[in-house]
Amino acid sequence: MAGPASTGIYPCIGAGECVILETVSHPIQMNPGKKLKALMGRSFFNRVEKPCVLIIVENLPVPLDRRVWQESCALRDAGYQVIVICPRMRGYNRRHEVLDGIHIYRHWISDEAGGFVGFFAEYASALAGEFLLALRVWWTWRPDIIHLCNPPDLLFLVALPFKLLGARIIYDIHDAWPEMFEAKFGSRGLFYWFVRCAEFLTYRTADVAIATNESVREIALGRGRMSPGQVFVVRTAPRVNRAEVHPDPSLRKGRAILVGYVGVMGNADGVDYLIRAAHHLVHGMGRDDIHFLLMGTGPEYDSLVALRDNLNLQEHVDMPGRVSNEFLFSALKTMDLGASSDPINPYNHHCTMNKVLEYMTFGKSQVLFDLKEGRASAADAGHYVSENSPEALAMGIAYLADNPGRRDEMGRIGLQRMDGPLSWDQSVENLLKAYRAALSAKY
């Protein structure tokens, strides 16, 4: 862990294990009344000088959620005690564990939502589990900051009681939830305005907001009515030691070009466009030299596998589902170009897609639909398709497949951007600024 600190062993924190914590040499400055309240609130064994943060995320388990895990590690390294609450899902089923000094508590959640009833069941079960675990964490640690990661914008319901008890609230905007809801259901009915109301109340609860990009920051300043000093941009740049990753030629299945996809497979992610683009290339254009590797899973995974099979693409499109980091990094090292199939719509215009940054991290060119934040991230490292069309996406893939010099040039540009303005180190600086602003916020 970074920074001047002394270490000491504190016995039996949480579920009976003994852990080593660091005591920061520069504690938070509090007036005497607040300091006495904080000390009285914490149990004897947890009376540490370091500030404590509770991160609540509902969309993915930790450490699978790379953004949340990287934030957690950065905060730990900066001297914070970090506790995470997340769902039990996707193979992460332990109720409690300590990874690299970070306590992770997981709650039960219903199956991933596929409609209004599914959304209600998912969110109701998650909120109940999150609140019960938050009570447990509060009783043990009395966190100074509660860090809420959307979607959904309902987590303020969990945080509000603790805000009244003195906790600061950070709103980490992973997605613009109203735009996501509209893209998923295609209308602005009653439930859309309920979502807008929930977003507004989350902004009102928060002391500070963290945005993934400038488009989301604009929403926080406008719709969220936050001041510029309350909103910080923390991008989701991956941290990977590329020198330790080796390619796996077998993934090509004997073909000259390997096209990769990394990400969630839901009804808003456009993976069907990519599969239909593969069909156009293979069966429409006779391109037997291109192989596809689509990595990831989600609510639509089974139907997408069925679509691949119905289009007779089993020999040209591999869909291994969720893969290990080792497999993922090796595939990213091996592929010739990446594909991002998120369609053009108001929601996706506000999103920085993880896959776009992951392709750039490994120096790969990519084809993507022409989205505002996709272009802001990739710049000249991307080839942009102007319409939501499988055929247009296929033509973009064919163009890069046939132009290795252009692929190499785009890959170099992507690496330069990821090692420079989009690097994780730059985002960590903003993350720590956001935390300092939250701790200094006045009620």
Can you give the pLDDT at residue 15? 32
Instruction: Kindly state the percentage of the chain with pLDDT values over 70.
Output: 87
- Judge contact between 221 and 231, C-beta under 8 A: yes
Q: Is residue 113, in this structure, part of any structural domain at all?
A: yes
- Residue 31 within any structural domain of the chain: no
Both 384 and 431 in one domain: the answer is no
> Is there a single domain that holds both residue 348 and residue 376?
yes
Q: Answer whether residue 43 is part of any domain.
A: no
Q: Are residues 430 and 383 in the same domain?
A: no
Task: Please check the confidence at residue 248 and state whether its pLDDT lies above 90.
Answer: yes
Residue 414 above 50 pLDDT?
A: yes
- 30 in a domain, yes or no? no
Q: What angle do CA 69, 71, 72 make, to 5 degrees?
A: 65
Question: Do 322 and 286 lie in a common domain?
Answer: yes
- The yes-or-no verdict on residue 109 having pLDDT over 60 is yes
Residues 215 and 163 in one domain: yes
The Cβ of residue 19 has, within 10 Å, a number of other Cβ atoms equal to 14
Element (H, E) at 226: none
Tens digits of per-residue pLDDT, 127-178?
Answer: 999 999 999 999 999 999 999 999 999 999 999 999 999 999 999 999 888 8
pLDDT band at 118 (very low <50, low <70, confident <90, very high): low
Dist. CA 155–CA 203, nearest whole Å: 11
Q: Assign 11 a pLDDT band (cuts: 50, 70, 90).
A: very low
Q: What is the mean pLDDT of residues 115-129?
A: 80
User: Which tens digit of pLDDT belongs to each residue from 17-38?
Assistant: 333 223 333 334 444 444 444 4
The reply to whether 81 and 106 lie within a common domain is yes
Instruction: State the residue range of the domain holding 335.
Output: 242-419
The residue type at 254: G
Among 31-40, 188-197, 272-281, 301-310, name the one with the lowest average pLDDT.
Answer: 31-40
Whether residue 35 lies inside any domain: the answer is no
**Whether residue 275 has pLDDT greater than 70:** yes
The pLDDT value recorded for residue 84 is 98
Q: In this structure, is residue 33 part of a structural domain?
A: no
Residues 400 and 346 in one domain: yes
3-state SS class at 290: strand
Nearest to 385 by CA among 260, 297, 274: 274
Residue 76 lies in a domain: yes
Same structural domain for residues 160 and 256?
A: no
Same domain assignment for residues 18 and 146: yes
211 contacts 220 by C-beta, under 8 angstroms: yes
pLDDT at 411 over 90: yes
Return d(Cα 431, Cα 70) in angstroms, integer.
Answer: 11
Domain co-membership, 262 together with 182:
no
Q: Which residue has the higher pLDDT, 48 or 109?
A: 109
The verdict on residue 42 lying in a domain is: no
The CATH code of the domain that includes 57 is 3.40.50.2000
Instruction: Give me 264's structure tokens.
Output: 């969630």
Give me the chain's average pLDDT, please.
87
User: Are 217 and 282 in the same domain?
Assistant: no
What is the Cα–Cα distance from 396 to 281, expressed in whole angstroms? 11
In this structure, are 289 and 222 located in the same domain?
no
- Retrieve residue 366's tokens: 């990519």
State how many domains the chain has.
2
419 pLDDT higher than 80: yes
Number of H helices, E strands in the chain: 16, 16
